[in-house]
Amino acid sequence: MRLKIVQVGDPVLRQTARPLTADEIASKEIQSLIAHMRDTMRDAPGVGLAAPQVGMPLQLAVIEDREEYFKDIAPAQLAERERAAVAFRTIINPRIAEIPGATVEFFEGCLSLAGFSAIVPRARSVRVECLDENGEPRVIEASGWYARILQHEIDHLRGQLYIDRMRSRTFMSLENWNRYWKGKSPDEVSNS
């Protein structure tokens, strides 16, 4: 079942989501929500979806970056973004820490800001401690695009959107990104 994705301006996107208990994680309701969020994310299509984006202020997000999503991206751009496939996973009650090192800037979009994109600086590498869909503790160490996805989704759980972190001069419609900036480096766009 596809869930409705709420858009910027809906108050739920600016709330701090509440943690889930072990009993809630095991419940049919949360297990069903995870399945519906997975289907909604894939249908959109997107690489991540946080519970607040479907109107639920819960510390729960799903992530998956399928190869088919980047088949039309040049190998050099994939390498620059350090983008590779990420298998489906659920993160619950995450705690994130940036791993000291580089900050990288790339365009980001969001299913809750449909039709727009901007350059967003993010930590290149992160460490996330969370629970999986079974309530089991997990540690994820990620870099590149996967780290960006994790940061973006965890921001949603804190009531933040990429527009809070973006380089404001680079905010644009996807139509104009495709028309003028597709294939350009973040530096070329930022310095224009």
Share of the chain above pLDDT 90, in %: 82
Catalytic residue among 133, 153, 175, 188: 153
- What is the structure's pLDDT at 1? 81
| Beta-carbon contacts of residue 38 (< 8 Å; ≥ 6 apart) | 62, 64, 88
Q: Does domain 11-104+123-161 have CATH number 3.10.28.10?
A: no
pLDDT digits (tens, 9 = 90+) for 36-59: 999 999 999 999 999 999 999 999
Alpha helices in the chain (DSSP H): 22-26, 28-43, 75-81, 144-157, 174-176, 186-190
Sheet holding 86-98, edge to edge: 48-50, 60-65, 86-98, 125-131, 137-143
What integer pLDDT is reported at residue 72 of this predicted model? Answer: 86
Asked if 141 is an active-site residue, the reply is: no
Tokens representing 135?
């309530």
Tokens of 137: 């503790």
Tell me the pLDDT tens digit for each residue of 55-101.
Answer: 999 999 999 999 999 888 889 888 988 999 999 999 999 999 988 88
Domain coordinates of the chain in residue numbers? Answer: 11-104+123-161
In this prediction, residue 82 carries a pLDDT of 92
102 touches 151 (CB < 8 A): no
Residues 27 and 37: their CA atoms lie apart, in Å, by 15
C-alpha to C-alpha distance for 186 and 89, rounded to whole angstroms: 29
Tell me the whole-structure pTM to 2 decimals.
0.94
| Torsion over CA: 156, 160, 165, 168 (sign) | positive
pLDDT tens digit string along 14-35?
999 999 999 999 999 999 999 9
Look at residue 30 in the predicted model and tell me its pLDDT: 98
Rounded Cα gap, residues 148 and 65, in angstroms = 12
List of E strands, the chain: 48-50, 60-65, 86-98, 103-108, 116-123, 125-131, 137-143, 172-173
Q: Which two tokens stand for residue 83?
A: 């983008």
